[in-house]
Chain A
Amino acid sequence: MSVKQISVFLENKAGTLQGMTAALAENNVDMRALSLAETNDFGIVRLIVDDVYAASTVLKEAGYIHNVTPVLGVCIPDEPGGLHKVLQIMGEANINIEYMYAFLGAASTGHAYMIFRVQDRKAAAAALRTKGIRLVDQDDIAQL
């Protein structure tokens, strides 16, 4: 069970991000979440989209270097302590988190979603599931 994250290489220059979003917009790719990691001269944009294949094709044709990585999509109860509970489970299971970012679900569902990039994705998923935490996969994301 995983969510497919697209990571895109961008130079750290004015206008490079909007060049990429333009390509995605023109091809009707819907973004669900976005996070940026940057250094002085380049950055990596991490995207969660509705249609991974379409987005990947668009990016390839537009000449962007990118790859697709499976990451963990976790349902977080939208209440105080919701994220803490999830992190606690991961800590106890000795799961190292490489990076993570949040995106909000529809308010009506009462959930927020977090994307986790961890060293051992399968172990993390098992630990969370045992404690009753709901995970989402790419199909769920597409339907959000």
Chain B
Amino acid sequence: MAERYYQPEIECAPREKMIALQNERLVKQVKHVWDNVPYYRKKMEEKGVTPDDIKSIDDLHKLPFLSKADLREAYPYGLMGKPLKDCVRIQSTSGTTGKRVVAFYTQHDIDLWEDCCARAIVAAGGTDEDVCQVSYGYGLFTGGPGLNGGSHKVGCLTIPTSSGNTERQIMFIQDLQATILCCTPSYAAYLGETMKEMGLTPDQIPLKAGIFGAEAWSEEMRQEIQNVLGIKAYDIYGLTELSGPGVSFECSAQSGMHINEDHFIAEIIDPDTGEVLPEGEQGELVFTSITKEAFPLLRYRTRDICRLSREKCPCGRTHVKMMKPKGRSDDMLIIRGVNVFPSQIETVLLNYGYPANYQIIVDRVNHTDTLDVQVEMTTEMFNDQLGEISKRQKELADGLRSMLGISAKVSLVAPKSIVRSEGKAVRVIDKRKI
């Protein structure tokens, strides 16, 4: 099947053309922010930078960073680039890591955001012949509204189920022959598990592709979802602070997500020093939004740890690819001084044949951190002999130790005892009082 693009002239633009576009847009955006966002202007003045210092993307590093703390401090209106009367929408973060962030959109911002989502849907093989079920939450969360808008732009028949009510989700997939599913990967896995229990085999499920994001997921989890639903599963990435899903998306190569560089300039920095790292190195992802009007963030630190690749992509898109983030640095746990990402634990579980549904309990007992990985017992794993089960339990614990570098306890729990999430999965319970 020939690769299709939503906006081929942009998505496959030669690098020089993209740099010229980014230069032009960055210069304009910095002026826009300087003139309209006193909060950021003050930061620039403190750093001794004026819009005149920014002539091209090579000057980007001169600009100050914005962090989540800035967004909280400036809440709610402090980072707006347009008067309220020009704005038509807000979206908000889930607030799982603290105070909610509220982002504002003009109609133009929404149009561009929906274009980004449309690119992702087309990259996943979507056309106006498709039936696209959007099972991301609608409302303040950006997942539902973003993919809904993108799906309209592509011309798919859109089923706005929103999240939840699993039986109804499956009914619509079956009755209306949904071909594309958009939701969180953990919910996709749960839908798959439920359909399997209902006796549905992948060839009886009409879906052909899924666009899954809003949480970190492993390559192993992708395989599992693909197998159980009989689809190709594509990753999509985004942040409410920048627009929502569609900041970057996967193509048929499934080997990293193309960043929509006509709207967002990506940098990788050393999270400790703030220095820009050479291309290809792993570090914290920083984005500069060069087209947003209402909420124009410059050099926003995402806390996501990943690396960028400019290797030529077989899909024909020229935009830089970001590798799957190892996890948001918020998700990173420091256990006994060692950095642990839930996605690493997930990789080990799936490698050892355990289900992707798990919970990580971190606690502190006698001044020592404890890590308890809870997994559900399955019929395949179960055996009437305690020794056999304990042996498998030990193998998993050994696997976790070699991946993480610290020892973990493995607890086997009853099936369905770990709460299924319909949105972002709650993987980590940190009971430590520090």
Instruction: Report A's interface with B, CB cutoff 8 A.
Output: 5, 7, 9-11, 16, 37, 39, 41-42, 44, 46, 63-67, 69, 98-99, 117
**A65 is contacted by which of B378, B385, B386, B411 (Cβ under 8 Å)?**
B378
Contact indicator A11/B414 (Cβ below 8 Å): yes
Contact indicator B379/A65 (Cβ below 8 Å): yes
Judged by a CB distance under 8 angstroms, whether B413 is at the interface is yes
* B residues in contact with A67, CB < 8 Å: 379, 382-384
User: Digit string of B367-403 for contact with A (CB within 8 Å is 1, else 0)?
Assistant: 0000000000111001111100110000000000000
Closest to B414 in A: A11
**A37 is contacted by which of B378, B386, B411, B413 (Cβ under 8 Å)?**
B386
CB<8 Å pairs between A and B, sample of 9: A5-B384, A7-B384, A39-B386, A42-B412, A46-B384, A65-B379, A65-B415, A66-B382, A117-B385
Contact indicator A39/B384 (Cβ below 8 Å): no
Closest to A67 in B: B382
State A127–B412 Cα separation when bound (angstroms). 38
Contact indicator A65/B414 (Cβ below 8 Å): yes
Judged by a CB distance under 8 angstroms, whether B416 is at the interface is yes
With contact pairs A9-B377, A39-B390 given, residues A69 and B384 touching in the complex (Cβ less than 8 Å) = yes
Judged by a CB distance under 8 angstroms, whether B417 is at the interface is yes
B196 CB to nearest A CB, Å: 15
State A131–B389 Cα separation when bound (angstroms). 35
> Which bracket fits the contact residues of B?
10 to 19
Contact indicator A44/B384 (Cβ below 8 Å): yes
**B386 is contacted by which of A16, A44, A63, A69 (Cβ under 8 Å)?**
A44
Please classify the interface of chain B as helix (H, G, I), strand (E, B), loop, or mixed, using the class held by over half of its residues: loop
Which of A39, A69, A117 counts the most chain B CB atoms within 10 A?
A39
Contact indicator B417/A98 (Cβ below 8 Å): no
19 new A-B contacts at CB < 8 Å, known A11-B412, A44-B386:
A5-B384, A7-B382, A7-B384, A9-B377, A9-B382, A11-B414, A16-B414, A41-B413, A42-B412, A63-B416, A64-B414, A64-B415, A65-B378, A65-B379, A65-B382, A65-B414, A66-B379, A67-B379, A117-B385
* A residues in contact with B390, CB < 8 Å: 39
B223 CB to nearest A CB, Å: 24
Contact indicator B377/A98 (Cβ below 8 Å): no
A115 CB to nearest B CB, Å: 11
* B residues in contact with A117, CB < 8 Å: 384-385
State A9–B386 Cα separation when bound (angstroms). 10
Which of B378, B382, B417 counts the most chain A CB atoms within 10 A?
B382
With contact pairs A11-B413, A63-B415 given, residues A42 and B384 touching in the complex (Cβ less than 8 Å) = no
State A16–B414 Cα separation when bound (angstroms). 10
* A residues in contact with B382, CB < 8 Å: 7, 9, 65-67
B378 CB to nearest A CB, Å: 7
Closest to A38 in B: B386
* B residues in contact with A5, CB < 8 Å: 384
**B414 is contacted by which of A7, A9, A37 (Cβ under 8 Å)?**
A9
Closest to A13 in B: B414
State A65–B389 Cα separation when bound (angstroms). 13
* A residues in contact with B385, CB < 8 Å: 44, 98-99, 117
State A44–B383 Cα separation when bound (angstroms). 9
* B residues in contact with A44, CB < 8 Å: 384-386, 389
Please provide the chain B residues from 148 to 162 with a CB less than 8 Å away from any CB of chain A in the complex.
Answer: none
State A67–B381 Cα separation when bound (angstroms). 10
With contact pairs A7-B384, A67-B383 given, residues A41 and B411 touching in the complex (Cβ less than 8 Å) = yes
5 tightest CB-CB pairs across the interface, nearest first? A7-B384, A37-B386, A69-B384, A9-B377, A65-B377
A10 CB to nearest B CB, Å: 7
B201 CB to nearest A CB, Å: 20
B161 CB to nearest A CB, Å: 26
* B residues in contact with A41, CB < 8 Å: 411-413
* A residues in contact with B416, CB < 8 Å: 63
Which of B389, B390, B416 counts the most chain A CB atoms within 10 A?
B389
State A38–B214 Cα separation when bound (angstroms). 40
Which of A5, A11, A37, A65 counts the most chain B CB atoms within 10 A?
A65
* B residues in contact with A42, CB < 8 Å: 377, 389, 411-413
State A66–B416 Cα separation when bound (angstroms). 14
A35 CB to nearest B CB, Å: 11
Please provide the chain B residues from 75 to 109 with a CB less than 8 Å away from any CB of chain A in the complex.
Answer: none
